């Protein structure tokens, strides 16, 4: 697998566009399109929230009822969640209007919305936006970047990633874009992700790969109980790489899986690092857990602790908060044998040895925690399983941003 520049237009036959329709923000792109020149099999994962936005329901239906789609239309500013039957029909109008502009059926168009919830979509200026998207779409890297920019809400940077892998001599490309301010508040910072690939792969195989990859990546920056009403990951495969079909349990599958995982993981980490108000990327590695599930539960518990997040912000090696978060995770372990290390470009330091302070240097700990990328390693010494979670610190700006999110 080889990492390359680019996003949703990196794979063959994919076009994209991002335009300023003027839905909510001034002078800011707010509508995006991803289009495949031929039918693409589509797989996806969606929010587990009982409250599902209209576009989520639409995509779940499309993926259930048909093998392929041609396009994904996205908007920022309005989430079309908690909008009742009216929101459902607005969403269908969104798919239909985009389909008309592209001269394809509405059932070939997936939809995604992000922004304020409880508000209905606006026919104007969105009607104008669909036409603009159809006119502007291109298969250049620039077009992919414009699309990635158009789906930003509180994001401070656009998020793209791409990789190429070799499937039995054929070059297969995977590229994607996402938005979302990471696990710092996944309960509202809708996470949207569109990944495209030119791989030849059956829908069922693609769905399995996507589900497994999402559990290892996006779900590790977002705890299930915190999924938003709109969270969506869509993967389109348009078969243009002409590779022999990717089949489960083969070397080719692993090659494709790794490329897909690279794209998803790097998008996930970019989201975590871009958490609202965040100044630091925090990575929590749990090793020596009894099971993968335990490892994930433990890592998520630490990464979502407000106290750990504020301590990281304050560069305070308050390891008791990490041990405490492990303790209330629900996983069973022996607190008296746990080791905790912290790592950054400044070095590695053991804070906790067998559940107690190692007598480390506070000064060196403070230096490590002052870096912008920090890893905490928790060795449970219970087994062989491990998991990694990503998050960020909790800062004044988080409160500021969310204290007046709508203004």
The reply to whether 327 sits near a second copy by the rule CB under 8 A is yes
Backbone dihedral angles phi then psi of residue 372, each to the nearest 5 degrees: -85, -15
The reply to whether 402 sits near a second copy by the rule CB under 8 A is yes
Of residues 112, 267, 250, the one with CA closest to residue 174? 267
Could you say which of 48, 61, 123, 348 contacts a second copy (CB under 8 A)?
A: 48
Could you say which of 96, 187, 255, 290 contacts a second copy (CB under 8 A)?
A: 187
The reply to whether 328 sits near a second copy by the rule CB under 8 A is yes
By beta-carbon proximity to a second copy, the closer residue of 9 and 49 is 49
The reply to whether 355 sits near a second copy by the rule CB under 8 A is yes
d(CA 14, CA 291): 40
The reply to whether 333 sits near a second copy by the rule CB under 8 A is yes
Could you say which of 65, 249, 363, 404 contacts a second copy (CB under 8 A)?
A: 404
Identify the active-site residue in 190, 196, 229, 388.
190
By beta-carbon proximity to a second copy, the closer residue of 105 and 187 is 187
Query: According to CB under 8 A, which residues from 114 to 133 bind a second copy?
Result: 116-119
> Which one of 99-107, 168-176, 221-229, 282-290 is the stretch in contact with a second copy (CB under 8 A)?
221-229
Backbone dihedral angles phi then psi of residue 76, each to the nearest 5 degrees: -115, 160
d(CA 23, CA 334): 54
Output the smallest distance, CB 244 to a second copy, in A.
42
Distances (CA, A) of 128 to 19, 103, 123, 152, 167: 10, 16, 9, 20, 41
d(CA 344, CA 58): 43
Could you say which of 313, 349, 368, 389 contacts a second copy (CB under 8 A)?
A: 313
Output the smallest distance, CB 157 to a second copy, in A.
22
SS3 311: helix
The reply to whether 292 sits near a second copy by the rule CB under 8 A is no
Beta-carbon neighbour count of residue 345 at 10 Å?
A: 9
Question: Quick one: 255 exposed, middle or buried, by C-beta within 10 A (0-12, 13-18, 19+)?
Answer: middle
Could you say which of 83, 153, 154, 344 contacts a second copy (CB under 8 A)?
A: 83
Question: Quick one: 89 exposed, middle or buried, by C-beta within 10 A (0-12, 13-18, 19+)?
Answer: middle
DSSP structure class, residue 138? B
The reply to whether 335 sits near a second copy by the rule CB under 8 A is yes
Could you say which of 146, 162, 264, 323 contacts a second copy (CB under 8 A)?
A: 323
The reply to whether 194 sits near a second copy by the rule CB under 8 A is no
What are the start-end ranges of the H helices in 236-305? 251-273, 292-303
Whether 238 and 195 have beta carbons less than 8 Å apart is answered as no
Contacts of 337 (CB under 8 A, 6+ apart): 354, 355, 380, 381
Contacts of 312 (CB under 8 A, 6+ apart): 280, 282, 369, 374, 393, 394
Output the smallest distance, CB 295 to a second copy, in A.
15
The reply to whether 321 sits near a second copy by the rule CB under 8 A is yes
- The question of whether 9 is a catalytic residue gets the answer no
Output the smallest distance, CB 83 to a second copy, in A.
7
d(CA 34, CA 137): 8
Could you say which of 25, 107, 364, 405 contacts a second copy (CB under 8 A)?
A: 405
The reply to whether 407 sits near a second copy by the rule CB under 8 A is yes
d(CA 191, CA 47): 9
Could you say which of 61, 156, 244, 320 contacts a second copy (CB under 8 A)?
A: 320
By beta-carbon proximity to a second copy, the closer residue of 13 and 115 is 115
Q: Known catalytic residues?
A: 190
Binding site for a second copy (CB under 8 A): 48-51, 79, 81-84, 116-119, 185, 187-188, 224-229, 301, 305-307, 310-311, 313-314, 316, 318-321, 323-333, 335-336, 352, 354-357, 394-396, 398-400, 402-407
């Amino acid at each position: 697998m080889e990492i390359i520049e680019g996003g949703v237009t990196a794979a063959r036959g994919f076009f994209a566009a991002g335009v300023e329709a003027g839905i909510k923000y001034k002078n800011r792109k707010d509508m995006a399109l991803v289009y495949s020149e031929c039918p693409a099999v589509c797989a996806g994962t969606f929010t587990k929230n009982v409250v599902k936005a209209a576009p989520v329901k639409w995509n779940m239906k499309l993926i259930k009822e048909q093998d392929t789609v041609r396009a994904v239309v996205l908007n920022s500013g309005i989430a079309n969640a908690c909008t009742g039957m009216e929101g459902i029909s607005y969403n269908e109008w969104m798919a239909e209007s985009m389909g008309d502009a592209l001269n394809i059926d509405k059932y070939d168009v997936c939809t995604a919305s992000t922004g304020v919830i409880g508000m209905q979509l606006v026919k104007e200026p969105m009607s104008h936006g669909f036409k603009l998207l159809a006119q502007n779409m291109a298969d250049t890297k620039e077009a992919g970047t414009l699309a990635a920019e158009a789906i930003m809400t509180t994001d401070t940077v656009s998020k793209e990633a791409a990789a190429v892998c070799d499937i039995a001599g054929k070059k297969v490309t995977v590229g994607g874009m996402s938005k979302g301010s990471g696990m710092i508040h996944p309960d509202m910072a809708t996470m949207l992700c569109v990944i495209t690939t030119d791989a030849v792969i059956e829908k069922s195989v693609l769905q399995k790969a996507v589900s497994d990859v999402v559990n290892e990546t996006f779900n590790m920056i977002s705890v299930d109980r915190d999924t938003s009403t709109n969270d969506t990951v869509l993967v389109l495969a348009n078969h243009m790489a002409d590779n022999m079909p990717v089949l489960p349990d083969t070397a080719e599958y692993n090659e494709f899986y790794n490329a897909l995982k690279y794209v998803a993981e790097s998008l996930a980490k970019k989201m975590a690092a871009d958490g609202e108000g965040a100044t630091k990327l925090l990575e929590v590695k749990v090793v020596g857990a009894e099971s993968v599930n335990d490892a994930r539960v433990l890592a998520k518990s630490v990464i979502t602790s407000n106290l750990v997040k504020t301590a990281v912000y304050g560069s305070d090696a308050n390891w008791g908060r990490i041990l405490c978060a492990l303790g209330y995770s629900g996983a069973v372990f022996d607190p008296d044998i746990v080791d905790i290390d912290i790592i950054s470009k400044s070095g590695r330091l053991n804070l906790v040895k067998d559940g107690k302070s190692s007598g480390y240097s506070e000064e060196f700990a403070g230096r490590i925690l002052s870096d912008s990328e920090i890893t905490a390693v928790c060795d449970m010494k219970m087994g062989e399983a491990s998991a990694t979670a990503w998050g960020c610190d909790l800062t004044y700006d988080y409160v500021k941003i969310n204290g007046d999110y709508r203004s």
